[in-house]
Amino acid sequence: MPEMNSAKQNRTKIPALGYAVLGLLQQKPSSGYDLRKIFSSTAMKTYSDSPGAIYPALRRLEKGGLIRGVIEEMSGLRRRQIFRLTPKGLSELRKWIQRPVKVEDLGRRDSDFMLRFAFSERVAGPAASIELLQSLAAAQSAFLPPLHQQLKTLGPLMPTSARLALEWGIQGSEAWLKWTQFAISAYEKERKGGTS
Amino acid sequence: MPEMNSAKQNRTKIPALGYAVLGLLQQKPSSGYDLRKIFSSTAMKTYSDSPGAIYPALRRLEKGGLIRGVIEEMSGLRRRQIFRLTPKGLSELRKWIQRPVKVEDLGRRDSDFMLRFAFSERVAGPAASIELLQSLAAAQSAFLPPLHQQLKTLGPLMPTSARLALEWGIQGSEAWLKWTQFAISAYEKERKGGTS
DNA sequence: TATGACATGTAATCTGTTACATGATTAG
DNA sequence: CTAATCATGTAACAGATTACATGTCATA
């Protein structure tokens, strides 16, 4: 086969939900139930709020030494385990956030990147956020041309609905690129007039 | 818990990859290898091109009576199994395409909907495409206000990068809404000046 | 005759979904 | 008292990833 996606990953890969948990725990030590509430009520609905996902994920992260849970016995005898990041967990989170964006990552606009970026400032500082945005911009500029190409060559042969779907691929990516510029300039403005 | 996502599904739920396969087979009977090439080379990279995903999926669909494979023995003795939709498969595909869009479906802009819409014209005709778009527009108009609300209340408390990520949620949805209008008007234009 | 594309598969493993189960505490 | 909410779990299962295995055919 010419070049199918193979990708040999070294084990211990953390899934998206795991990073979402790490990021939230860095912001505020929480129980599994706290996390479930966040995943079910806020804009982070992409991640599963089911106990069958959260609790096993917490145990995996704990076994990997990335978080540590302590049972809070204080007020009221309702058992409740609060998890916190360990230093190892923090460094793992930081490494994930600072990974450069590759063109292949851009397929889904909703994934991975936004989660990383959302956490970036808290975890690694504004400089890291800016770097991430620039890495994104670079990847994006390489992403669009092939799509235009596909539309030009295949578009006329496709049914209207299929062509329109492909056009969303383009329009959506362009909107995302605009957001990237917007975000970069927001950081530049902050740097000048900011609270520094 | 107030209202966590539970969702009791009746069995025989077909996963996204399954529908992608059904849609492609409706357009053109193909082998597993053909499908893999499509998933690895075209804009449909969201779906797995790995043999460990495709071949089991084909067998599941065949067991469910949605597709039927025949071994092509013609030219050259290189075995190659060509799959086609059965009538049941076609009707299942049509049912999936014609499902109305619900607000909860809108979380990820890249998912499900675009696949359904892309196939809609071929499988169920332009009228179905237009209906899908209108169903989408209705769901979208209910989707945006809560996001604006969240930004207004939580935004000022968030770090810049987290707020910008939330703003992408809004800008991206607005861009999608614009595409929806664009697509509807494209169909209207076609209906007037079209090949009818 | 060796390489690489064609073509199909399988086994181990991981993660998430679905659907229960359990018990403590608080509000009406 | 009873219903709802807090809080944690588990078992069965489905589907995807990873990695390997097998064999055919064309061409350089």
Q: What's the confidence (pLDDT) of residue A7? A: 46
What's chain B's average pLDDT? 89
- What residues in B contact A165, CB-CB < 8 Å? 114-115, 117-118
Q: What's the confidence (pLDDT) of residue B192? A: 75
DSSP code of residue B106: G
Q: A67 to chain B nearest CA, in Å?
A: 22
Q: What's the confidence (pLDDT) of residue A62? A: 96
Can you give the distance from the CA of residue B79 to the C1' of nucleotide D27 in angstroms?
20
Cβ distance of A5 and B50 shorter than 8 Å: yes
Cβ distance of A164 and B117 shorter than 8 Å: yes
Q: What's the confidence (pLDDT) of residue B75? A: 57
Q: What's the confidence (pLDDT) of residue B1? A: 59
Nucleotides of D under 7 A from a protein CB: 5-12, 14-21, 23-26
Average pLDDT over residues B162-169: 94
pLDDT at B5 over 60: no
Q: What's the confidence (pLDDT) of residue A3? A: 57
Per residue in B56-70, pLDDT (tens digit) is 999 999 999 999 998
Cβ distance of A4 and B175 shorter than 8 Å: no
Where residue B119 falls among pLDDT bands split at 50, 70, 90? Answer: very high
Where residue B196 falls among pLDDT bands split at 50, 70, 90? Answer: very low
Cβ distance of A179 and B165 shorter than 8 Å: no
Average pLDDT over residues B141-163: 91
Q: What's the confidence (pLDDT) of residue A104? A: 84
Return the percentage of chain B with pLDDT > 70, whole number.
Answer: 89
Per residue in A34-86, pLDDT (tens digit) is 999 999 988 888 899 999 999 999 999 999 999 999 988 765 566 889 999 99
Q: What's the confidence (pLDDT) of residue A10? A: 41
pLDDT at B7 over 80: no
Per residue in A117-174, pLDDT (tens digit) is 999 999 999 999 999 999 999 999 999 998 898 899 888 999 999 999 999 999 999 9
pLDDT at A14 over 50: yes
Secondary structure element (H or E) that encloses residue B40, with its range: helix B32-41
DSSP letters for chain B:
--S-------S-PPPHHHHHHHHHHHHS-B-HHHHHHHHHHSS-TTS---HHHHHHHHHHHHHTTSEEEEE--SSSS---EEEEE-HHHHHHHHHHHHSPPPGGGGS-TTSTHHHHHHHHHHHH-HHHHHHHHHHHHHHHHHHHHHHHHHHHHHGGGS-HHHHHHHHHHHHHHHHHHHHHHHHHHHHHHHHHHS--
Q: A56 to chain B nearest CA, in Å?
A: 18
